[in-house]
A and B are shown apart, each in its own frame.
Chain A
């Protein structure tokens, strides 16, 4: 149990939780999170990681409904796997073509090397939990980093496989 706890707190870092931000575009959102990831020392360079993430967006935009987008990239620039969270005050349209309005953005970064499965497991479990309406609502309403951290690191037994 302790081991899992460590994984959660490694992947989710308080520095990477951005709450009540103003944001009006996909690039703006991704950029804010990448800046933070760089400042926090999670990625080695910003531009190449941004490219990977945006390339993934052109394949298929990562707005998944429910006012959530999960841009992500697998890249050698990623030093440690992470999930960054950006909660914006007013929802905005993720792409011109897609009508999806987005308020919660999760930027996921993993390295292109063989990733530790426990990290991937945690990321997949958190992704699954986003389908839980109460969880999403709590994330939309949260105003304190401490509380957001607690929400994102508390993966309860209901989503275990």
Chain B
């Protein structure tokens, strides 16, 4: 009886989740009247704006991941090693981007860094790109920090640091050759999640007027019929791939731990 109820609850849910995925896939292949085809994908993929905005967002995501790592890994390490008292405060700050909606944060950017301010980031293209990148670092901060901090919990930070210091290593060496390899799996999980968030982000990019993939999708959706469905399939594929890579990384780490 319980099992029957359980199966039916699950099946009902699965139908709800499967339908939009089937719907978008089916719709994306209906562009030609004579039958199913990949015409919509072809049209999207050869579109110059797709190539430009997509590569822009990929670059943005990679920059976000690198800057986020450089910022989060040393900080989380240092807090664990020397400033455990600061941990609640740092954790609170890293959770703030979940509390303050992205649209409010970017509103603050626009007003704080406008052309007449002390730091006129929005005055130039490079400045706006940097601002958007830091906005993405902010958005990914909760996930990145938690991933890295969880990774650091599994290793003995103090002992590793002492051992490295007594062998004559400097702080940069410790971070890049001792700490980073040990938390690499955690960092990778954070990185893939960041990638999934940044690649299709709409609000910040649109309000800062940057040619990112999110605003391009929105624009195409307002004007075309079949291409948006193809874009949705592509975006879903990317999200899926990122999550699969996270699982793969986690499984890989378990493998290493067993061998040890």
A-B complex is real:
no
